[in-house]
Amino acid sequence: MLRWNFISPQPWFDYPNWLHTHSHIMFLGWILNLLLLAYLYHYHLWRIKQYRILFTFIQTLLAGMMISFPLQGYGTIAIILSVLHTLSLGLFIYWLLKDLKAKPALTSIWYTRMSLILFIISSLGPFALAPIMANGLGHSKWYFFIVYYYLHFQYNGVFIFGVLSLFFHLLELRDVKFDVRKANRSGMLLLVSLFPGYFLSTLWAAPGMIFNLIGLFGAILQLLAIRYFIKCVRGISISLNPWSRLLIIISLLSFCIKSFLQLLSAHPDIAKLAYEVRPFVITYLHLVVIGVITFFLLAWYIETNLVKLKSSISIILLVVGFAGSELTMLLSGISQFDGFHLYQTQVLFLFSACLLFGIAMFTAISYSQLQNED
């Protein structure tokens, strides 16, 4: 719908409000839901009644956001629902952390704990918006600093640590040996890198060269974490579905590219360019949210047999849609050829449609299988 609006704008379609809907539902309705369900399944907690009731309530709040955000954006109802959603997730996480204390000290559990704790840390951002808005600073740099704080600790913290926890869980589940010390070292470096790495999201405001250097330090730590991770898993052998293997490879490559781009963004000129050219920002966000996180989560659900991949067409559509949209947005940011700009909107819509049909087919097949099993 967002892509189609650029081709055929409709008077009833409030683009900013629908964009807020898109970002909230993508983060909270798609990725976070997949992670929470994976944790409940992995740690055998789904049969506990309190988790099922609270999870259902959380979905009700999300459904309310899907209605309220398009109608009023950050209006009263949407804010109330968002606050209730965050508080509900806080309770959910409290229960999970409490139950995880009884679990063995496995690498995957450490990463899960960090993922949950980082959600609590990231949630401090939205609550800090209230005094900012009350003092009439809704369009100031401080408002955006808080928004980027939340986003940074969500997709670089909660989601990345969640993905890594499920990755190590898969290895542990299949009794695949890996270097636990290097895995732990990688995790600690990645955790520490998050805090100086946040300042990379503030460089557009030109806060001073010291913050470029702090951000650079965070980016270097992140690359060191990747180095230890690769050493940790180098040489391991695990049997995977060919399409799961493809998704995991794309996820790892996307993570390496994302980390390298963060290193480059510490340079003042590149930080300014990334802020001023919107297609670059969207390309980066989709690289992380789709390339790194979504593709791995789909692979994990396939490998744990929670869904059974009966058709490879859905995966092909997803990969083509992702690669095509990334390339198109990248070219739209750097291309100076009018001929390309004439058709870039249509091309981008086409690749977005591939993503839509790919995930719709994946979901429909998975749902029909669940019905058959019942």
Q: What is the pLDDT of residues 147-186, one digit of tens each?
A: 889 999 999 999 999 999 999 999 998 888 899 999 999 9
Q: Which of 89-98, 255-264, 356-365 has the lowest mean pLDDT?
A: 356-365
Count of Cβ atoms closer than 10 Å to residue 94 Cβ? 12
Could you give the maximum distance between any two Cα atoms of the chain, in Å?
A: 62
Check residues 236 and 370 and name the one with the higher pLDDT: 236
Q: Which contacts (CB < 8 Å, 24+ apart) does range 105-110 have?
A: 106/168, 106/172, 107/168, 107/172, 107/180, 107/183, 107/184, 107/187, 108/42, 108/165, 108/166, 108/167, 108/168, 108/169, 108/172, 109/165, 110/165, 110/184, 110/187
Handedness of CA 24, 25, 28, 32 (dihedral sign): negative
Q: What is the DSSP letter of 294?
A: I
pLDDT over 60 at 338, yes or no: no
Closest CA to 161 of 122, 126, 130: 122
In terms of Cβ atoms closer than 10 Å to its own Cβ (0-12, 13-18, 19+), residue 137 is: middle
Residue with tokens 């099993």: 373
pLDDT over 80 at 331, yes or no: yes
208/169 Cα distance (integer angstroms): 42
Which residues does 261 contact at the CB level (< 8 Å), separation at least 6? 284, 287
* 305-331: b (≥16 Cβ within 10 Å) or e: eebebeeeebbebbbebbebbbebbbb
306/169 Cα distance (integer angstroms): 15
Q: What percent of the chain has pLDDT over 70?
A: 95
Q: What is the pLDDT of residue 165?
A: 96
341/333 Cα distance (integer angstroms): 10
Q: What is the pLDDT of residue 164?
A: 96
pTM higher than 0.85: yes
pLDDT over 60 at 346, yes or no: yes
For residue 374, name the pLDDT band (cuts at 50, 70, 90): low
Q: What is the pLDDT of residue 342?
A: 59
Q: What is the pLDDT of residue 276?
A: 80
Q: What is the pLDDT of residue 341?
A: 60
For residue 204, name the pLDDT band (cuts at 50, 70, 90): confident
- What is the average pLDDT score of the chain? 89
CB 36 within 8 A of CB 92: yes
Q: What is the pLDDT of residue 370?
A: 67
Average pLDDT over residues 82-100: 93
Q: What is the pLDDT of residue 340?
A: 56
**Type and span of the H or E element at 213:** helix 209-233
